[in-house]
């Protein structure tokens, strides 16, 4: 292999259908071009423990995985080198003496509970998939699997599921949904899930993803591969056709690449200029916050950016130090009744200086550093909290298709007065039609929106 393989991670709760999805996806990609690396094979060898104590080990936490070995094998496959993966005996919780030889392929599918949990593994993945599953369905499938394949009784499986599997899934597995590029329903048709994944996996040939391309015409990668496939199939039928196809391909690349470059230049120049020009104001605000209650000047949160990647998100602190602890008592007072976002008029947690900087959006200015660093843009959907994203529907997740921004359509149309469903509609409309001229108009509209302070509280 000369090209770097495409690594696909498939995570989800126990018995959600990950293994079947991985096998069907591998079949779609071609058995000669793909390999599945099951994380179940990388459970730690418990041969050092007495047999009667091995059942006491919790296998539903990330610590049960032999991460150094798994990451070493993933690294070797990514470098085009073969590995001998272990074979795990679930009856004895030990590794068998034999191994399975895995050769590097064009597509490597890593499937398991914690495929989206480890940060180092996440960095290796080109496509991240999460399989949703209802508890009742997962429990039934687990009983059937462990009784038939692992020699266990139905009673012991049920007991373990309620004691460790279900709570551990809520603690470690379900929160990783926000890191997925694609979320599929484990109870739905597997072929539909394969189609959805195929529409976003990089480097697939047109013959493999033509149906997905017709459904998602906004995909730049699919358009380019479609042109390549047309050139291969029809390039020998005269000189005019391949020339036109090549011209269209590189014209498309130039337009899309040029627009991205121009947007990034505007972000860098704009954020840098604002940080320099507004530095006196930033110093004064920081001093006033510090003098108010001696607490920290900045308030840091984890926010969710493009494709579910989390990043550190700073704001000038506008609330009392223990604001998060008080929030639970105020949830019923949110002006957004759907529970996915929290906004409250006359929030008692806000300090006197906080009311001023929130009204004028000065509390958002530290995020200019995120724009300069490339984690945010001047214009784009506002980055949500991980807890909010966990409750997103598939439609809501469209907001994560682009880099988040300081201002957006609903920010200049009423801000917090806009209900969450309307925020999503406005964000999706922006994603489908955004361009440099749209961004410039939104930046201009932001100035009066900030000065008037409508919807800011």
pLDDT in tens, 389-415: 777 766 677 788 789 999 988 888 776
Q: What is the mean pLDDT of the chain?
A: 80
Query: At a CB cut-off of 8 Å and minimum separation 6, what does 282 contact?
Result: 275, 365, 366
What pLDDT band is residue 3 in, cutting at 50, 70 and 90? low
Comparing 8-17, 219-228, 274-283, 417-426, the range with the smallest average pLDDT is: 219-228
What digits encode the pLDDT tens for the residues 97-126?
899 999 999 899 999 999 999 988 998 898
What digits encode the pLDDT tens for the residues 15-29?
788 888 999 998 888
Does the pLDDT value for residue 443 go beyond 70? yes
| Mean pLDDT value of segment 253-277 | 88
| Mean pLDDT value of segment 377-388 | 88
- Angle (CA) 30 32 35, round 5°: 85
| Mean pLDDT value of segment 297-316 | 88
What digits encode the pLDDT tens for the residues 50-71?
888 887 788 888 988 999 999 9
What digits encode the pLDDT tens for the residues 157-215?
667 667 777 788 888 888 888 888 888 888 788 888 888 787 777 554 333 333 333 34
Give the pLDDT confidence score for residue 278 in this predicted structure.
94
Does the pLDDT value for residue 143 go beyond 70? no
What pLDDT band is residue 421 in, cutting at 50, 70 and 90? confident
Give the pLDDT confidence score for residue 234 in this predicted structure.
53
Give the pLDDT confidence score for residue 210 in this predicted structure.
37
Does the pLDDT value for residue 388 go beyond 90? no
36 versus 220: which is more confidently predicted?
36
Q: Residue 65 pairs with which residues in a beta bridge?
A: 43
Query: Is 6-203 CATH 3.30.70.3270?
Result: no
Does the pLDDT value for residue 48 go beyond 80? yes
Count of Cβ atoms closer than 10 Å to residue 49 Cβ: 14
Q: How far is CA 430 from CA 289, 322, 338, 401, 438, in A?
A: 35, 36, 23, 11, 8
Residue ranges per domain, the chain?
Answer: 6-203, 209-255, 278-452
Query: At a CB cut-off of 8 Å and minimum separation 6, what does 253 contact?
Result: 224
Comparing 75-79, 209-213, 424-428, the range with the smallest average pLDDT is: 209-213
Residue of 448, 427, 440, 304 whose CA lies nearest to 375: 304
Give the pLDDT confidence score for residue 115 in this predicted structure.
94
Quote the pTM value: 0.49
The label of the residue with tokens 């490597």 reads 108
| Dist. CA 208–CA 104, nearest whole Å | 20
């Amino acid at each position: 292999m000369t090209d770097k393989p495409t690594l696909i991670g498939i995570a989800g709760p126990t018995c959600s259908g990950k293994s079947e999805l991985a096998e069907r996806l591998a079949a779609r990609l071609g058995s000669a071009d793909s390999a599945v690396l099951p994380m179940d094979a990388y459970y730690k060898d418990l041969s050092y423990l007495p047999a009667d104590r091995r059942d006491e080990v919790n296998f539903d936490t990330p610590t049960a995985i032999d991460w150094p070995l798994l990451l070493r094998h993933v690294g070797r496959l990514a470098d085009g080198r073969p590995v001998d993966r272990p074979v795990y005996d679930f009856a004895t919780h030990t590794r068998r003496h034999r191994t399975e030889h895995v050769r590097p392929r064009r597509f490597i599918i890593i499937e398991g509970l914690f495929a989206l949990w480890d940060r180092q593994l996440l960095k290796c993945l080109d496509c991240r998939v999460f399989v949703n599953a209802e508890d009742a369905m997962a429990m039934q499938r687990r009983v059937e699997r462990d009784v038939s394949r692992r020699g266990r009784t139905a009673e012991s499986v049920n007991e373990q599921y309620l004691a460790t599997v279900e709570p551990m899934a809520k603690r470690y597995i379900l929160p990783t949904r926000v890191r997925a590029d694609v979320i599929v329903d484990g109870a739905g048709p597997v072929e539909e899930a394969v189609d959805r994944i195929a529409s976003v996996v990089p480097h697939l040939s047109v013959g493999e993803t033509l149906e997905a391309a017709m459904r998602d015409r906004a995909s730049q990668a699919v358009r380019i591969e479609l042109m390549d496939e047309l050139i291969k199939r029809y390039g020998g039928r005269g000189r005019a056709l391949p020339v036109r196809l090549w011209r269209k391909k590189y014209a498309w690349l130039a337009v899309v690449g040029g627009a991205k470059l121009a947007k990034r230049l505007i972000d860098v120049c704009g954020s840098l200029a604002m940080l320099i020009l507004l530095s006196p104001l930033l110093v004064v605000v920081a001093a006033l916050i510090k003098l108010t209650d001696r607490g920290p000047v900045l308030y840091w949160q984890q926010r969710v950016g493009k494709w579910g990647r989390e990043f550190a998100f700073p704001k000038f602190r506008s609330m009392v130090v223990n604001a998060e602890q008080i929030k639970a008592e105020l949830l019923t007072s949110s002006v957004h009744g759907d529970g996915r976002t929290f906004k409250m008029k006359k929030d008692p947690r806000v300090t006197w200086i906080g009311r001023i900087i929130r009204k004028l959006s000065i509390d958002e200015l530290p995020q200019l550093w995120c724009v300069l660093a490339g984690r945010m843009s001047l214009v784009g959907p506002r980055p949500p909290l991980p807890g909010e994203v966990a409750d997103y529907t598939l439609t809501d997740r469209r907001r994560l298709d682009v880099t988040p921004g300081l201002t957006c359509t609903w920010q200049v149309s009423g801000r917090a007065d806009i209900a969450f469903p309307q925020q999503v509609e406005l964000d999706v409309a922006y994603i489908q039609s955004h361009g440099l001229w749209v961004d410039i108009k939104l930046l201009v509209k932001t100035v009066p929106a900030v000065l008037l302070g409508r919807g800011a509280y």
